[in-house]
Structure 1
Amino acid sequence: MSTTVRGAVASEADRAAFRAGPVDEQSRARLAESGLDYRRTTVDGDDFAPWLQSVARGFQDGERTAEHVAAARARSGYRRLTGVYDPAAPVSEAPVATIASWLGELTVPGHAAVPACAISAVTVAPTHRRRGIARAMLEGELRAAADAGIPVAMLTVSESTLYGRYGFAPAAASASWRIETRRATWIGPRPDGRVDFIARETLRELAPGLHERVRLSAAGEIDVPGSHWDGFAGTTPTAEKAGDKRAIQYTDATGEVRGLALYTVKENHDDFTKATVRVVYLLADGDDAYAALWRFLLELDLVAEAHADELSVDEPLRWMIADQRAATVTVRDHQYVRILDVPAALEVRRFGAPGILALDVSDALGHAAGRYLLEVDADGAGRVRAAEGDLPAGAVEVSLGIEELSAVYLGGVSLATLAAAGRVRSEDPSAAARVLAWHRAPRLSIWY
């Protein structure tokens, strides 16, 4: 399946310019008042290794070896790296806080993508907490993105309560599945084509192209940086337990590769017929590939349970097994979104129904505050302009914060639900919800 992206997309020149951009001056000055130095880190410079060690410490990982540093350096060129340094610290070359970002693309409803600032590697050393460092970094990165004309920021989070104060909201949830395989019993399709084992290196080669074919079909997905595929496949020199991963592909009746999956198996030493399979990653181009790969994984010999994470909240798999109670599904927040430019963000996506919404948007950071008129036609395309003077007949007024608008942006939560929760005010939230809705739940199949 191949789809043309509507709207502006990120060019390589755009990405390079964002990487090379200066740190935010307002945040730099604020941190300087506390004796801290806020500056960019270079992948090729001597400051990269200390920056990487600080990131590892922040996520409670072990110290990085020279081999780890070299491998990370080789695959970090796409990112903009920033650190906060304390000249008075005993190890002053190591930052006390870190943040990374890059210009990517976020899939939105309607097989379209919008340029987005992806944020990652946010850490603050426990020795320097409650000094406004995280606020300075995140607000600085958002200002840098807004100055670059990027309509949206996005991130996946370890600490979910931190980011709402900056306007981020959980916009695409993920589901974790635990399936009792013998109880499940496959009743789904049995496509033509075949499933075969392949080398992990082959999967690494095939995955980027396949992902590009399918990523516009689900809102919430992103264009995956190349180094992430090495992490999945375990094809870096520093990959741990890479040999535990097994790779398979599905080819259709014409011989074209339509699906890929990686999985591991954990043996049960008390009962060798009750091993556990963990699905590391599954990528399917079309319903046949999806069904064939899942059937293979659920019918593996000597396996009693299958585990999988980062799935959609409306997986077709639920309707492909005879006993839905064989699956225990846990849902959690995953892909966070923050709109920076309301007209640019809304005009890229498609909408669930025609209508006119008058959006009164508040934004504590000032990026997106304003009154906007969203007019959606019968084809689901929206046009946004400033709401001035009398509103058109039939316009539904909605008052909400940027966090709430960001939450509904991908169609992952109904505006009516947020209104019932006291997060949105409108005289007709159901009508507004129909406009902002989408027929398929958003998803994001990776962490970043």
Structure 2
Amino acid sequence: MTTDVRVLRRDDWNEWYGKLELAFGGIPEAPEARALYEDLTEFDRSIGTWDGDRCVGTAGAFTFRVTVPGGAQVPAAGVTMVSVAATDRRRGVLTSMMRRQLDDVRSWGEPLAVLTASEPAIYGRFGYGIATRQASVEIDSTRVRIDAPAGTDDVRLRFAGVAEAAAECEAVYVRTIGSRPGMLARRPGWERLPLLDPPQEREGASPMQCVLAERDGETVGYVRFHNKPEWDAAGPKGRITLRHIDALDPAAYAALWRFLLGIDLTSAVHARNRPVDDPLFSLVSDIRRCRVGVRDSMHVRLVDVGAALEARTYQVPVDVVFDVEDDFCPWNAGRWRLTGDAKGASCKRTGDEPDLALSVRELGAAYLGDTSLAALARAGRVRELRPGAVDEAALAFGSTVAPWLPHGF
């Protein structure tokens, strides 16, 4: 290789981001989106691969804190803007950037790296495991109703300007961050991301609309959505597309969904990214009239196995020795003894005989409580060396609620 991987300079951002756009199809992003991502780019955490004066690879890492089981918010590098020029594939560009990036993340003292993948087959070889999933749902709102809990009628709903209500909505989001593993605590500036609403991305729908849920003068929830009016010979059949919904209690959540399903002149509500155990699925009157799909979402990479496993808690007491394989980050390889419970954990190097053998990819997949170590064992990706160890560890690693990444990055 004749390429050079180096930290991104501000003067190179336009070329660097332009190569990213080209790698993802060559359609320029809306000016407001491009401007926001330039503002959010952390230049000292972004790298490019250069071949002479050509940029042939891009990668960045946002500063996040990820909620883990037990509620702690753990420092994590949000890997983003990864691309390789189509003319320079199979030259080791991606591998060299992943190598540099994970070395950097380790030097920053961040035990986790996380990403969303355009192609999920890419990142397993670098130790990333699929740690959260997301559900999409298409609801026939002409036939489905919300079985609302007590108190729903006490919630007042009102339309509000998207920009004017932004601070209230962000305050609700911040209060929900600790409710699920996988949710992100963000640096200032990220509150602008949910407000992006380029006309070319609306697919013929309305500008984004916002409704606040209030009780006793306090904002307890919000929803942002698009309305796409449509008609045929039988009459109106408009479509609502959900952008964001958050609420502080079940009644407020039900009130917002009841509103969405009851909007006049519409017959469908579509949501692209919901938790796989969304309370919505227990509120709807007919789940068969809700077409649900599930796909991968956040991929997790343990950069420091000991620190990462110590940062979360465990559903039941656990005492297990892992024999970890990690060719890409060899400082993680070897035997680790994890002891912990619902109050805390310790994970240290050990010479004791191992109970389970697995790669760091499987630890990443199980880390937030979505993917079961027992399921991975049945797939042949975890080897049980002590009888009963798989079930013990799988139960301990679980989560009472499904982890969920509320937005991409």
TM-score, normalised to structure 1, is: 0.84
Residue 3 of structure 1 corresponds to none
Query: Contact 1:179 / 1:307 at 8 angstroms: preserved in 2?
Result: yes
**1:346–1:382 Cα contact (<8 Å) kept:** yes
Aligned-pair CA distance for 1:415: 1.0
Tell me the alpha carbon deviations over residues 296-352 of structure 1, each in whole angstroms, 9 at most, x when there is no partner.
Answer: 111111111110021111111111111111111100000100001122111111111
Deviates more, 1:52-61 or 1:128-137: 52-61
- Written as runs of structure 1 = structure 2, the 5 A alignment for 1:292-311 is 292-311=255-274
Look up the equivalent residue of 1:424 and give its one-letter code: V
1:83 is the counterpart of 2:48 = yes
Letter in 1 for 2:111: P
Task: Map residues 178-327 of structure 1 onto 2, 5 A cutoff.
Answer: 178-189=138-149, 190-234=152-196, 244-252=207-215, 254-270=216-232, 272-327=235-290
Residue of structure 2 equivalent to 1:107: 67
Partners of 2:369 and 2:34 lie apart in 1 by 39
Question: How far 1:103 sits from its partner (Å)?
Answer: 2.2
Counterpart of 1:445 (choices 396, 406, 409) is 406
Q: Aligned pair 1:355/2:322, yes or no?
A: no
Q: Distance in 2 between matches of 1:61 and 1:446?
A: 23
Instruction: Check conservation: 1:245, 1:262, Cα contact below 8 A.
Output: yes
Q: CA RMSD in A?
A: 2.2
Correspondence for 2:332: 368
Written as runs of structure 1 = structure 2, the 5 A alignment for 1:123-162 is: 123-162=83-122
Measure, in 2, the Cα distance between the counterparts of 1:438 and 1:56. 37
Letter of the 1:425 counterpart: R
Q: Which amino acid aligns with 2:162?
A: R
8 Å contact from structure 2 (residues 148, 255) kept in 1:
no
Q: Secondary structure at the match of 2:91?
A: coil
Deviation at 1:380, TM superposition (A): 4.5
Partner of 1:174: 134
Give yes or no for the alignment of 1:412 onto 2:370.
yes
Matched residues in 1 for 2:35 and 2:349: separation?
50
Shift of residue 65 of structure 1? 8.2
> Structure 1 residue 83: deviation in Å?
1.1
Q: Residue type matched to 2:38 in 1?
A: R
CA shift at 1:78, angstroms?
7.4
- What SS is found at the alignment partner of 2:55? coil
On the 8 A contact 1:201/1:235 being kept in 2, the answer is no
2: CA distance, partners of 1:332 / 1:387: 37
Answer yes or no: is 1:346 the counterpart of 2:309: yes
Q: Out of 4, 7, 14, which is 1:49 matched to?
A: 14
- The match for 2:379 is 421
Listed one character per residue, the Cα deviations across residues 197-226 of structure 1 (whole Å, up to 9, x for unaligned) are: 111102322233222211111001112355
Describe the SS at the equivalent of 1:373.
Answer: strand
- 3-state SS in 2 of match to 1:182: coil
| Alignment correspondent of 1:4 | none
Q: Which moved more, 1:403-412 or 1:66-75?
A: 66-75
Contact 1:79–1:100 (CA under 8 A) maintained in structure 2: no
**Is the CA contact 2:32–2:196 (under 8 Å) kept in the aligned structure 1?**
no
- Return the offset for 1:169: 0.6
In structure 2, relative to structure 1, the CA distance for the partners of 1:234 and 1:420 (3 Å cut) is: same
3-state SS, counterpart of residue 178 of structure 1: strand
Could you say if the C-alpha distance between residues 175 and 120 of structure 1 is closer, same or farther in structure 2, counting changes exceeding 3 Å? Answer: same
Q: Is 1:399 the equivalent of 2:357?
A: yes
**Aligned residues of 1:169 and 1:336 also touching (Cα < 8 A):** yes
Structure 1 counterpart SS, 2:363: helix
Cα offset, 1:81, TM superposition: 2.2
Paired residues in the alignment total 400
User: How has the CA–CA distance of structure 1 residues 226 and 274 changed in structure 2, closer, same or farther, with 3 Å as cutoff?
Assistant: farther
- Cα distance in 1, alignment partners of residues 235 and 185 from structure 2: 40
Distance (Å, rounded) in 1 between the aligned partners of 2:33 and 2:278: 36
In 2, Cα distance between the equivalents of 1:423 and 1:376? 23
Give the secondary structure class of the aligned counterpart of 2:167: helix
| Matching residue of 2:346 | 383
- Give the TM-score of the pair, scaled to structure 2: 0.92
Which residue of structure 1 lines up, in the alignment, with residue 395 of structure 2?
Answer: 434
Counterpart contact for 2:225–2:240, Cα < 8 Å: yes
Q: Which moved more, 1:367-376 or 1:136-145?
A: 367-376
Query: Is the 2:42–2:62 Cα contact (8 Å) retained in structure 1?
Result: no
1:59 aligns to 2:19 (yes or no): no
Structure 2 CA distance for aligned equivalents of residues 341 and 439 of structure 1: 25
* Aligned twin of 1:36: 3
SS at match of 1:60: coil
Match of 2:392, SS?
helix
Whole-Å separation in 2 of the counterparts to 1:339 and 1:302? 48
Contact 1:51/1:98 (8 A) holds in 2? yes
1:15 match: none
